[in-house]
Structures are given as C-alpha cells and as structure tokens.
Amino acid sequence: MYWYDGQLFEQDKICLSINDPGLKYGATVFTTLRVYQQSLEHPLTQWKAHLKRLKNSVETFSWCLPNWQKIAQGARHLIKTYPVLRITIFPDGKEWITGRFLPENLAQFQQQGIKGWLASYPLFQRTLNSHKTGNYLSPWLALQQAKTFGFQEAILVDSQGNWLETSTGNLWGWKQETWYTPPLEGQILPGIGRWQLIEWLRQQNIKIEENQWTPSWIKSLEIIAYTNSVVEVIPFSQIDCNGELLTFNVSKEILETLCQYYQHNY
C-alpha cells in the first residue's frame, strides 16, 4: 500500500514514465519519519521539520512545489497501518509516500549495541550532502557491504579519513562528561534527530560540542552511537577500522542523557 499523486494504491507496483528523471537519475528528494502514537502532531514526529526539509531541497533545486495538503492527506491514510513513513518528492511536484514497520530487533540494538564497519573513501561518498536525494546509491552500497561482512551499519569518511556520519544517521561520541557530534559544514546531512538532540542537551545544560572526528581523536571516545528519526539512539559495541577492532562502552547510564529526550516527550 502506498500513496502517489493524490491517490491511495493497495499494491506494490508504481507506474512511472521511462523518461521520468526520478527513475532515470534518482532525481527525487525524500525524508523518513517515525510517527509516534499515530499522530502527525506528536512532538517526536516532528512533522513540520520534515516538511521544511523537503521544501528547502525543492526550492534549492528550483523544482515544482508539491501540494502539501495532499502529502498530509496521504500520510494520514498510511499512519493507520505503518509507524514509519518515507515521503518522496519528484521534480514535477508529485508526491510518493510509502510506509514500513520498525525493525524487529530495534530494542535489542538499542540495549546491546551494534557492530559498525568503516567504509572506504572515495567509493562510498555521498553526494549533495546537505540534501536527502533519491540518488542514495553510495550509502546504500556501504551498508550492503557492511552487512556482507557481518556488521549492522557503515560509517562514511572524508578524503582525510575523518568520520562524517553513518549510512543512515548522525554520529555521537562521549568522553569526559561531554557529547560530541561531527559538524555540518556541507559534509553531512543535517539530521532532524541530530537537531532535536542538540537542542535537548543544551536545554538540560549537558555539554555538547561539534568537532572534527579525526582517526586518532576517535580512539579517545568512551561511547559512540548513531541517531536518526526512526531508530532514535543506537550505540556501537564494536567498530572495524580497516582491520583494527575498536570496542566501546554501551552503558545505559550515559546513553540515558540522549534517550531521555524521547522518554520525556513520549
């Protein structure tokens, strides 16, 4: 079941022109959100922030603006069944909304952590970093490669080997009573979950710094986690750095400072 151009379809096929730039070049923008308590108005859903992301990208690319009322209408249809929505916008302004369920092992990953794999540069390099475009091949390939090696997530780096983000989210590190996250600077996606947590930490007077994650500095971190709008916070128990296996703490007590944002607003 999906929503496309103002209509609900109960099937798993979509009809597109062979000349559609979204099909030919991946010329789409999208956002993925978790809908809490089946409500677009729930504070954790961050509905307006996700629409703002789409609007910013559409206007930057000089595409046709979509019908925002149709998008909301389609979303309200799908949230009756799915807790996670992906909203895609084509250059001609047409909207395509699909739904999915939360990962079955999400609670386990949140509690026990996952294993990560460091992707190599420049093969696994995301383009148009400030926008979430349909041309998401590089991060997708990085994640598939990580999975073939037995890892659950991939970490992308720049030409200097500095860590940027994961294939699906933003990075967080902890040491000496401070949380750290890589800076935007046009190199990483300005994640909505990232923005939410930065605001929350500052409100709670918890130290948060944006800094460059060099390979040597990373080894000083006690905890590394990643976040996105769907999975919330997931820590890494181990990360394979070109054959060197780094092990990290998955302490619930420390991670609680991030997780409290979701608990407080739920």
Give me the percent of the chain exceeding a pLDDT of 90.
Answer: 93
| pLDDT over 80 (residue 80) | yes
Where exactly are the structural domains of the chain?
A: 2-100, 106-265
pLDDT at position 47, please?
A: 98
Q: What is the pLDDT of residues 187-223, one digit of tens each?
A: 899 999 999 999 999 999 999 999 999 999 999 999 9
Q: What is the pLDDT of residues 121-173, one digit of tens each?
A: 999 988 899 999 999 999 999 999 999 999 999 999 999 999 999 999 999 99
**Residue labelled with tokens 């190599």:** 120
Q: Where are the beta strands (DSSP E) in the chain?
A: 2-4, 7-9, 29-34, 84-89, 95-100, 114-118, 153-157, 163-166, 170-175, 178-181, 207-210, 223-228, 232-241, 244-247
Q: 156 and 125 in contact (C-beta within 8 Å)?
A: yes
**Residue labelled with tokens 């890494």:** 236
User: If residue 148 lies in a helix (H) or strand (E), which one and from where to where?
Assistant: helix 137-148
Q: Which amino acid is at 43?
A: P
Both tokens of 239, joined, read 């990360």
Q: What is the pLDDT of residues 39-75, one digit of tens each?
A: 999 999 999 999 999 999 999 999 999 999 999 999 9
* Other CB atoms within 10 A of residue 252 CB: 11
What does the alpha-carbon distance between residue 185 and residue 165 come to, in Å, rounded to a whole number?
Answer: 13
Instruction: Note every long-range contact of 140-147, with CB atoms under 8 Å and residues 24 or more positions apart, other chains counting.
Output: 140/167, 142/167, 143/167, 143/168, 145/117, 145/119, 146/116, 146/117, 146/119
Maximal C-alpha separation, the chain: 55
What does the alpha-carbon distance between residue 241 and residue 155 come to, in Å, rounded to a whole number?
Answer: 10
CB contact set of 99 (below 8 Å; sequence gap of 6+): 1, 2, 78, 79, 81, 82, 84, 85, 86
Q: Is the peptide bond before 122 cis (omega within 30 degrees of 0)?
A: yes
What does the alpha-carbon distance between residue 34 and residue 42 come to, in Å, rounded to a whole number?
Answer: 10
What does the alpha-carbon distance between residue 100 and residue 154 come to, in Å, rounded to a whole number?
Answer: 22
Query: Strand, helix or coil at 135?
Result: coil
Give me the percent of the chain exceeding a pLDDT of 70.
Answer: 100
What does the alpha-carbon distance between residue 67 and residue 6 come to, in Å, rounded to a whole number?
Answer: 9
Domain 2-100 has CATH 3.30.470.10: yes
pLDDT at position 193, please?
A: 95
pLDDT at position 204, please?
A: 94
Give the architecture-level CATH label for domain 106-265. Alpha-Beta Barrel (3.20)
What does the alpha-carbon distance between residue 112 and residue 95 come to, in Å, rounded to a whole number?
Answer: 37
